[in-house]
Structure 1
Amino acid sequence: MARVKAAESGLRAMALDPLRNFKRETVKVEEWGDTEVTLRALSAGDWMEYRRRAAEMVSVARAEAGLSPQTQESTEGEDAPSEPRVEINSNVLYAFVLVRTLFDEHQQRVFSDEDVGEVTEAFSPVHDRLAAKVFELSGVGVTEDAPDPVDAAGNG
């Protein structure tokens, strides 16, 4: 009976492991004293929250620019009216991505969701490079040919 419980708890641990069930990669960050960190692909919940935050930021920026609210449906098609695009600080979204997907050497998240503002303030080319790797692991290309994830999230 004890053997069955041990096997079940091992299976449970594997099923609930925040890294095991996602694409992930350990990378060395030279700028951080050659520290090795693990980056994980975004989960479905992470993507939903990313899209929600992006849509909210676009909505606020449109309102501040005096533009009407815009839905994805109204922007599609050749006959769609041409309205000016609004600018948002994409570093906020990329900081959110890192907060959700950056793990330390003990396989623990480095940040909590409340840290997004602090990570945004510290955002640098290093953070940008790590966020790009997360998008790559998540199946989103961040290249010249691929759409920007912020635009894909609803700033069109």
Structure 2
Amino acid sequence: MARTKAAGVDLRSMALDPMRNFKHERLTIEEWDGAQVVVRALSAGDWVEYRRRASLAVAEARQDAGLPVQNSEAEDAEGAPIEPRVEIHSSPLYAFVLVRALLDESNARVFTDDDVPAVAEAFSPVHDRLVGKVFELSGVAAGAGAEDPVDAAGKG
């Protein structure tokens, strides 16, 4: 049987503790009466679901624009496909990120996945700021000059 404690350290508990193993940050949200929240980086499973949702959103936007769901016709000088840009409604996608990564003061999730539509409907600059912090903690560049995470996910 594997030894789980070494010199008084419970390695198993540390290895399974999501708050120890994911970057996270405690924030004060002045707009929410100074509430304390925690946002954490997305897990591998969160990223898989994010990419799935982003791909669906891009496919729906392409279909709504009268474009084929997958473009394989035009290529650039290097032979890479040229994708016409389509506008997607990103609030549901960013709401998903917030739902997965927003925690209360005791590090419990504030929302369930069923709350994504309600969060998307209420999406505001405060929510956007929190999502930006989640992407930052997850190692995704944000801001001017950075690739849009929706665009990046839709390429997979």
| Same fold at TM > 0.5 | yes
Q: Which amino acid aligns with 2:31?
A: E
- SS of alignment partner, residue 53 of structure 1: helix
**Structure that is richer in helix per residue:** 1
Residue 140 of structure 1 deviates from its aligned partner by: 0.6
Aligned-residue sequence identity (percent) comes to 63
Q: Is the 8 A contact 1:42 1:138 kept in 2?
A: yes
Structure 2 residue runs without a partner (length 5+): none
- Residue of structure 2 equivalent to 1:21: 21
Q: Per chain length, whose mean CA-contact separation is higher, i.e. which structure has more relative contact order (CA < 8 Å, sep 6+)?
A: 1
Alpha-carbon distance between aligned partners in 1 of 2:81 and 2:153, rounded to the nearest angstrom? 19
- Residue of structure 1 equivalent to 2:56: 56
Alpha-carbon distance between aligned partners in 2 of 1:114 and 1:82, rounded to the nearest angstrom? 36
- Residue of structure 2 equivalent to 1:115: 115
- Residue of structure 1 equivalent to 2:93: 93
Residue 84 of structure 1 deviates from its aligned partner by: 3.1
Residue deviations 1:84-139 (CA, integer Å, cap 9, x gap): 32111111111000000000011100001111000000100000000000000011
- Residue of structure 1 equivalent to 2:154: 154
Alpha-carbon distance between aligned partners in 2 of 1:61 and 1:132, rounded to the nearest angstrom? 23
Q: Which amino acid aligns with 1:22?
A: F
Q: Which amino acid aligns with 1:111?
A: F
Residue 68 of structure 1 deviates from its aligned partner by: 0.8
Structure 1 residue runs without a partner (length 5+): none
- Residue of structure 2 equivalent to 1:140: 140
Task: Provide the aligned C-alpha RMSD in A.
Answer: 2.7
Residue deviations 1:12-57 (CA, integer Å, cap 9, x gap): 4433323221000001100011111100001111111101000011
Matched pairs, number: 151
Q: Is the 8 A contact 1:58 1:155 kept in 2?
A: no
Pick which of 47-56 and 73-82 moved more.
73-82
Does the C-alpha gap of structure 1 residues 54 and 28 become closer, same or farther in structure 2, counting only changes over 3 Å? same
Residue 143 of structure 1 deviates from its aligned partner by: 1.3
Q: Is the 8 A contact 2:76 2:82 kept in 1?
A: no
Q: Is the 8 A contact 2:38 2:102 kept in 1?
A: yes
